[in-house]
Amino acid sequence: MKSRPGVANSGPLPRPEDTDRGLPRPAESPALEQLIEQAAEAAPLPDTELPEDVAEMRTGGFSLRDKFFNLKSLASFGVAFALIGLVIWRANINLTETWVQMKAINVPLYLAGFVVFYALFPVRALRWRIVLRNAGFEVDTPQARQRWSGIPQLSEFLGLSWFANCVVPAKLGDAYRGYLLKKNGNVSFSRSLGTIFAERIIDMLVLFGMLVISGLLVFRGQLNRTTEGLFLIGILLTVVLVVGLMSMRYLSPLIRRAIPARFHDFYARFEEGTLASFRTSQLPILLLLTVVVWLGEAMRLFFVIEALGGFDLSLAAIIFVALASSLLTAVPGLPGGIGLVEIGIFGVMTLFGVADTSSTAVALLDRVINYWSIVAFGLILYIFSKRK
């Protein structure tokens, strides 16, 4: 076989007998991985045979401005604000009293919530770095650290992807994060998506486990309809993710036969990135970092609530509110969970006897930190970033 110009031969490609038993084996060297990627890009699938966003990113990127101003995104924001308005109207919330309470906030405590929230980005980046290493990415070379695999660089990718998730629906920011890794690290886009999916699985398992524990501590087994609904959402999301992971692990040949042949290579690399991320020896540190992340999210809400007076809520109750609202961000229909998360915080706070105006103030102030500040800072980062 003749070599393509500018690409060195780096060993044999996967043998047919390797792929017949399921999916192609991982590339045995970074050079071979690059060869396979370049070969795929030399003869890409027609854009009509790929999902629109995936095709667009693989062939050069996409414009967040265009995604934000399309009908689907604008409609999702319309639905979100309509939901918020409906709750305010039905609950007869006094917005004037809410505003007065928000203005009386303890500023240093509120700023502590900002500090805790943004201090979690390096922790998330470290966790992602471990997942990437597990999946076979060369993250420890000096060149990789400088270009794309260092904690500052991965934190930047996370910030850009969170910004994308806050301004466009369907969790497109996760795909954007995979695209950023591909363009800056010259690595497989589909394998990168696999590591992000693995992160989501770990997040959901730990989040739901902590939500159940905090709920049992707070309600002592006496669950009402709201908490039962939250648990049901958590169970469904967890089951979907776990079933998806187990299907990849044990039903790979069946899945490959079920999907169109043109998607085999893309799916193979996605599966490879996902399954390789769960290296048994690294699971304890990944779980520990994930627990730290979710406790940090609870501490952010703790400072917001304390800045408004505390409302005599226990730490377990605050953790439950924070985790329940975080669970709603996993719903992909609305950008950053806008509308659902505010309503979730309001609804759960009222379960603990907090007044409607106070619950509304907590919801709005907390979302200034974990939604609107991402939109503001993320826009600045997106404008000036050299890696976008």
What is the residue extent of each domain of the chain? 64-86+112-384
Angle between helices 107-134 and 189-219 (to 10 degrees): 130
Taking every pair of C-alpha atoms in the chain, what is the biggest distance, in angstroms?
A: 76
Q: What is the DSSP letter of 267?
A: H
Contacts of 233 (CB under 8 A, 6+ apart): 327, 328
Q: What is the pLDDT of residue 62?
A: 59
Distance CA 209, CA 108 (A): 32
Across 106-262, the runs of DSSP E, i.e. the strands, are none
Per-residue tokens: 212: 């159940």
Q: How many CA atoms lie within 13 A of 264 on its CB side?
A: 14
Distance CA 372, CA 166 (A): 8
Q: What is the pLDDT of residue 387?
A: 82
Q: What is the pLDDT of residue 222?
A: 66
Residue with tokens 């795929």: 40
Report CA-CA distances (Å) from 56 to 163, 177, 193, 379: 19, 14, 15, 21
Distance CA 182, CA 54 (A): 13
Nearest to 347 by CA among 231, 225, 235: 225
pLDDT means over runs of 10, the chain (388 residues)? 40 40 43 48 44 53 67 82 88 91 95 97 97 92 91 96 88 88 89 90 90 84 69 79 79 80 78 83 94 96 95 91 86 83 91 92 96 95 88
Q: What is the pLDDT of residue 61?
A: 57
Distance CA 84, CA 342 (A): 8
